[in-house]
Amino acid sequence: MQYRIPRELLHEIRTRTSLVEVIGRYVSLQKRGRSYLGLCPFHGEKSPSFHVDESKQMFYCFGCQTGGDIFKFLTLIENESFAVVVKELADKCGVQLPEREITPEEKRVLDEREVLYQLYEVAASFYERGLMSSTATRAQEYVRGRQLPPETIQAFRLGYAPEGWHNLFDHLNRHRHPLRLAEKAGLITPGQSGAYYDRFRDRIIFPIRNVSGKVIAFGGRVLDGGEPKYLNSPENPLFNKSQALYGIDLARRAIGQEDCVVVVEGYFDTLALAAAGIHNVVASCGTSLTRGHLAILKRYTRKVVLVYDGDKAGQSAAERSLPLFLEEELWPLFIPLPHGKDPDDVIKAEGGDGFRQRIQRAIPLFDHVVMRHARGAQVSAQEREVALETLAPLFARLSPEKLDFYASFIAQHFGMGDHVSRDYLRRAQQTAQTQRLERPGTASEVGTSLRPPVRRPSVILLPAHEELLVHWMLQSPEEIVPSARDAAILDWMTHEGLKRVVGEALEMFAAQGTVDAALLIGRVTDPSLQTRLTELCVRGLELGDRSRDQALVQALLGIKEKNINHLLRHLQGEIARLEREGGDPKTLAQLGMQKVELHREQVQIQRRRSGSLV
């Protein structure tokens, strides 16, 4: 049996939750008139076409035709079920949902996620207290040595896992937290005997949080020089390291304001930049950059600045990320650091202002990679050929507008003529194109998606005047609904889907004095019609040179005229059939009278429509 949450409660959750605030955690939004505009998180785009209407509590992308209310957005962006999304929103805004019978699987998922969040919060608080403990002098000295101010430590909730094997385990066990899920969260680990011990011991703890600020994992740095130097939580239902960015919850607003994100490698690099007043900074969590990371960053900005360590490993990591950026149609910038230095070192030496100057002087990562290989190819023609062969896959991804510039750039750095480098770049692109045709569908060419692709609904064609009436009703219900009711417009509408929508709008208006557009559209079961109505809800109403009264009269009369035309065609066909078959003269006479009456109404409507245009 499918559980149906009362519509009144869904409405209550919507009214208590800001759609702009929720979507703003995932997408950088800018105010545009009555709506907010941003880059769509559900498909790749360079120009924003994703609209959010706070007053209507609806979102819609004019690029991929994805739209809906707050529940639809979260089910898509988090790849969660409707029940889980409603439950989490209801808990946040204090709406009590009725008890219901749920499937065992639904109950397991809901309960498990909730308990995992609770366990991570309990552990984060435990580690925070651990850093403040009088017995944590080594950890406190280490943090002081990093020159982190108290406000940064508090904002990022830095902690310490004390020495010993059972500190967190004893705390969880004493408060009767479920140990099986604590193990799944990676907080404790079973030994060979089956007894649990703490995963993090004698480590500085970095809570990893999602965009909403909820703890979903931990990173830990060892204090005594042991191995591994850094240890992260294992992946679990809340944490996927390829889609998690350290500091994103604190950085997202600054990223949107600066229209730029600084990406570093380490936790302490993030903390150092934030402490210096550079707040648009994030780090990947113990992994190289992935498509998942870039998909998150693209929601907020297309300007990405990489700041990796100045050693060979950092340079190589930056170079490995370049093909991924190009596949995602991003042109990243790069800040070269002195050899052996990391961002934390540079911040300490130059301060925040000095580092900001480095950000302003950042060069394209593509340029850096080319120059890095060119420096190692100056000895012989053979070395130059090897370097060019290594760079060929990158050259193949250059856009036509960049081709001429980089022909000269490569010629300059590799000591060849412009015409030679230009010919080489064209051949590299032709070779790559041939390989793509021979190996269609490979991951490197087509990429992978952060979540299942959103299905585009089929295009739906609606009667123009009926669509205009519903469009207007969604925009200005107080203005339109009384006129539609007085005109008995339901008796004249021909599209069954729109007719049901208008009928429910009339009922809603009679009961509440207004129309809840999100609730009304949520009741529509036809996906194509629902998508079109969502677009109409978000799209502004354009009436041309007509006054609002004229436009309303035209819409109502147009609906009636189309209905009469339909009835006349049907009636004429019936009369013709009876005449061919020698039908009853009395029946033919009655149908003839009906036809005359319909013609009279048709003429009256046409005169009224003509008069309304004067």
pLDDT of residue 144: 93
Distance CA 411, CA 414 (A): 5
Q: What percent of the chain has pLDDT over 70?
A: 89
What is the mean predicted confidence (pLDDT) over 508-513? 84
Let me know: does 536 contact 474? Beta carbons within 8 Å: yes
Q: Is 560 helix (H, G, I), strand (E, B) or coil?
A: helix
pLDDT score at 519: 85
CB atoms < 10 A from the CB of 361, how many?
A: 10
Q: Are strands 281-284 and 245-246 parallel, antiparallel or unpaired?
A: antiparallel
Helix (H) or strand (E) holding 208: strand 203-209
Region 39-56: mean pLDDT is 88
The 10s digit of each residue's pLDDT in 564-583 is 777 778 778 888 888 888 77
CA distances from 129 to 132, 135, 205, 529 (A): 5, 11, 11, 54
Q: Is pLDDT of 430 > 60?
A: yes
Confidence of residue 541 (pLDDT cuts 50, 70, 90): low
Report how far residue 197's alpha carbon sits from residue 182's, in angstroms, rounded to the nearest whole number: 11
**pLDDT higher than threshold 90 for residue 225:** no
- pLDDT value at residue 1: 35
Give residue 190's pLDDT. 93
HEC per residue, 314-369: HHHHHHHHHHHHHHCCCCCEECCCCCCCCHHHHHHHHHHHHHHHHHHCCEEHHHHH
Structure tokens at 477: 């219900």
Contact 184, 236 (CB under 8 A): yes
Collapsing DSSP states into helix, strand and coil, what is residue 59?
strand
Beta carbons of 578 and 571 less than 8 angstroms apart: no
SS3 (DSSP) at 188: strand
441 pLDDT band (50/70/90 cuts)?
very low
pLDDT band at 466 (very low <50, low <70, confident <90, very high): confident
What's the average model confidence in pLDDT over 234-256? Answer: 92
Phi–psi pair at 27, nearest 5 degrees: -135, 135
The answer regarding whether domain 7-102 maps to CATH 3.40.309.10 reads no
Which of 22-36, 109-123, 147-161 has the highest mean predicted lDDT (pLDDT)? 147-161
- In 25-125, the DSSP E strands lie at 30-32, 35-38, 50-53, 58-61, 67-68
Query: Residue 150 in contact with residue 82, Cβ under 8 Å?
Result: no
The reported pLDDT for the residue numbered 220 is: 96
Name which residue leads in pLDDT, 423 or 551: 423
Is residue 518 pLDDT above 50, yes or no? Answer: yes
> How far, in Å, CA of 122 to CA of 207, rounded?
12
Pairing of strands 261-264, 281-284: parallel
Is 3.40.50.1000 the CATH classification of the domain at 245-366? Answer: no
Q: Are residues 194 and 162 in contact, defined by beta-carbon separation less than 8 angstroms?
A: no
Alpha-carbon torsion (72, 242, 267, 235), positive or negative: positive
Cα 428 to Cα 432: distance, rounded to the nearest angstrom = 6
Mutual angle of helices 312-327 and 365-375, in 10-degree steps: 130
Mean pLDDT of 97-118: 76
Res. 248: pLDDT tops 70: yes
Please report how the helices 477-486 and 548-580 are oriented relative to each other, as an axis angle in degrees rounded to 10. 30
* pLDDT band (50, 70, 90) for residue 613: very low
Helix (H) or strand (E) holding 133: none
Residue 72 has pLDDT above 70, yes or no: yes
Tell me how crowded residue 131 is: count the other CB atoms within 10 A of its CB. 19
Task: State the pLDDT confidence band at 358, using cuts at 50, 70 and 90.
Answer: very high
Mean pLDDT score of the chain: 85
**Phi, psi values for residue 292, rounded to 5°:** -60, -45
As given in the structure block, the two tokens for residue 142 are 């280490």
Residue 101 has pLDDT above 70, yes or no: no
Q: Residues 378, 381, 382, CA angle at the centre, nearest 5°?
A: 105
* pLDDT higher at 452 or 120: 120
pLDDT confidence of residue 450? 41
Distance (Å, whole) CA 305 – CA 359: 7
Does position 497 have pLDDT exceeding 50, yes or no? Answer: yes
C-beta separation of 181 from 238 below 8 A: no
* Cα–Cα distance for residue pair 217/236, rounded to 1 Å: 9
Short-list 136, 119, 129, CA closest to 187? 119
pTM score of the predicted model: 0.72
112-239 CATH pick, 3.90.980.10, 3.40.50.300, 3.40.50.1240, 1.25.40.10: 3.90.980.10
User: For residue 4, what pLDDT band results from cuts at 50, 70 and 90?
Assistant: low
Non-local CB neighbours of 323 within 8 Å, separated by 6+ positions: 393, 394, 397, 444
Q: Which of 444, 401, 445, 394 is nearest to 424 (CA)?
A: 394
Structure tokens at 53: 């209407």
The SS3 call for residue 241 is helix
Which band of pLDDT confidence, cut at 50, 70 and 90, is reported for residue 447?
A: very low
